[in-house]
Amino acid sequence: MRVNLVLTGFGVVGREFVRLLQEKHRFLRRAYELDFRLVAVGGRGGFITSEDGLDLKILGDAEPGSDSLETFSKNSGLPLMSTFDQADALIEATPTDTDSGEPGFGYIMKAIHHQMDIVAISKGALVRHYDTIFTAADANQVKLKFSGATAAALPTLDIGQISLAGSEIVSIEGILNGTSNYILSSMQREQVSFEEALKAAQHQGIAEANPRLDVEGIDSACKILLLANSLLGSRLSLSDVTVTGIVGVSSEDIIEASAQGKKMKLLARAYKQDGTVRVEVGPSMIGSDHLLSSVDGTNKGIVFRTDTMGDVGAVGGSSSPRGAAAAALKDLIHLYHTT
């Protein structure tokens, strides 16, 4: 089965998705009978398009960013277009903007109008316009998956939607940001300050030059919000989430946690209370009896509390562009592979 794809956003995750398409092309045809063809890629300067499919090798070897798309356009003779034509599915991987949700929101709504299925990696549009997007998708019979936006390679949505079917999820608790977890782990293991741990993380490429979304808890808040709205039936917005990051965590806090035989973690929680769903993010001390106590470094983890299956958890999942791209590929397979 041939599936024509449009990719919006050619950053590190978008390029990694292109690389995965090339690397796994034969495997996907053999294992799932799926032939994914990338027919358009868009960036800041426009879209390069080809009905026959773009050259994945050239794109995969290029530097991430819109400049590479412009170079590809010049070298291939394919003009940059202002938008994309109809295809089977959109992979939305533009930078996350939690204020407006753009440009991802515009791309998603255009795809829905064209009755294209959607795999969202970027969180901004879903966080800001969840109801609008899903109402339009339902009206146009469009399928939408977004596991890459809810902790990348860690299968959070898959567990909640598939593995726990028939159970009521009472609460969700997770370590959903690998950068913050690495910083807290370093502070405890190496007995350094937040500032020292952050600089080390930046030097190793684990933290961005501007790590605000990670260390202020915003990235975790977006992920747990999407999980709550999808799995707990809420319709909350980012302003409904109580968020405290790790910027204020001191060496004294870490020492106190260690003295109690505990670890400091940035926990994202969603739970039902008095008929409503509450969502919060903040640093907490957890003991060795907690299912997430062993989640250190850049690893992530999640625990679902249910009415019939008890506590169910998962840990790991690469905190990397490849992990996020792999989550998008998994979503695509689930959209089109029938057993």
Tokens of 78: 């394919």
C-alpha span between 165 and 147 (Å, rounded): 17
The answer to whether 123 is a known catalytic residue is: no
Burial of 67 (C-beta count, 10 Å sphere; 0-12/13-18/19+): middle
C-alpha span between 292 and 264 (Å, rounded): 11
Alpha helices in 83-235 (DSSP H): 104-113, 124-139, 156-158, 178-190, 194-203, 212-215, 218-231
The reply to whether omega before 103 is within 30° of 0 (cis) is yes
Starting at the edge strand found earlier in the chain, the sheet holding 300-306 runs 242-243, 276-286, 263-273, 169-175, 300-306, 311-316
* Active-site residue, selected from the candidate residues 24, 57, 143, 223: 223
Residues with a known catalytic role: 223
